Amino acid sequence: MGVTRSDLFTEKQNEFSKVAKVFGHPARLAILEYLLKSNSCICGDLVEELGLAQATISQHLKELKNAEIIKGNIEGTSVCYCINEEKWYEMKMIFNELFDRYPNPKDCC
Amino acid sequence: MGVTRSDLFTEKQNEFSKVAKVFGHPARLAILEYLLKSNSCICGDLVEELGLAQATISQHLKELKNAEIIKGNIEGTSVCYCINEEKWYEMKMIFNELFDRYPNPKDCC
DNA sequence: ATTAAATATTGCAATATTACGATAAATAAA
DNA sequence: TTTATTTATCGTAATATTGCAATATTTAAT
């Protein structure tokens, strides 16, 4: 066993968790924060900045791209990465939708 | 190797990713959503509701509790779980802090 | 055409996560 | 005290993730 039972959950729950999982690694957060302050960068910048191996950075970039959180534009031999604006706002929205569902006043045990 | 290089990242990044990781499984989202609508519940409710084994639910509850996202109060033979209000608002805040860091107007590649 | 530069992919080892049956622990009810 | 109820923990198997060296791929420059 040991395989996530996606069949038991809603499409929304599976989608949300997939996005959240991308935030669930400090290297990917560091990449996003670097992109937030620099607007765009190439893989090599991140290798220098973060101190992880090039292959590792590339892998994290791939996951961020798969989740559509970032976009990559080929520019010569390098790839210029930046945050995907649409997805960013969509994420902001769905996270807030969740956070705002907390009942107020609450009545806890 | 294969062990996360927490030493390379900031305390904030490591903490944030730890919280995000908890959101990164549909079962835990389902648990939180159930708690949001019912205000409180016991482990058995979730076993029925979600269809995962009791041991599995208990494990997910443990992770949610470790992350301080939920609290558990012993009531007889059962444990009443509910959302930790303080942590909930704290999470809302730190996620929004991240999302709001997106530069506008942006200048992408 | 060669060489250089940048990124992606492959292959592998280490570690972490997920799931569940079995069992333990703790309290309530009889 | 015995039994029932509820949750936690243990043990284990399957799967997923992380990291990096080595290599492949792609385009630019010479």
Does A1 score more than 70 pLDDT?
no
Q: What's the gap in Å between the CA of A76 and the closest CA on chain B?
A: 13
- Count CB atoms within 10 A of the CB of residue B75: 11
- Looking at residue B1, its pLDDT comes to 56
Distance from CA of A45 to the nearest CA of B (A): 15
How far does chain B reach from its first CA to its final CA, in angstroms?
Answer: 35
- The protein residue nearest D21 (Cα–C1') is A55
C13 C1' – A87 CA distance, angstroms?
Answer: 35
Residue B103 is predicted with a pLDDT of: 86
Q: What is the pLDDT of residue A67?
A: 97
What does each of the 109 residues of chain B score in pLDDT, given as a tens digit? 579 999 999 999 999 999 999 999 999 999 999 999 999 999 999 999 999 999 999 999 999 999 999 999 999 999 999 999 999 999 999 999 999 999 887 878 7
Nearest nucleotide (C1') to the CA of residue B80?
A: D7
Chain B contact set for A83 (CB, 8 A): 102, 106, 108
Q: Among B23, B25, B106, whose Cβ lies nearest the Cβ of A4?
A: B25
The nucleotides of chain C lying under 7 Å from a protein CB are 4-11, 13-22, 26-28
Max Cα separation, chain B?
60
Which domains does chain A show, CATH number per domain?
A: 11-98 (1.10.10.10)
| Confidence at residue B47, expressed as pLDDT on a 0 to 100 scale | 98
Cα three-residue angle B14-B8-A35, rounded to 5 degrees: 75
pLDDT tens-digit profile of A7-41? 999 999 999 999 999 999 999 999 999 999 999 99
Structure tokens at A63: 């996951």
**pLDDT one-digit tens code per residue, A48-82:** 999 999 999 999 999 999 999 999 999 999 999 99
The bases of strand D with some atom under 7 A from any protein CB are 4-11, 13-22, 26-29
Asked if A61 and B49 touch (Cβ cutoff 8 Å), the reply is no
CA of B35 to C1' of C20 (A): 24
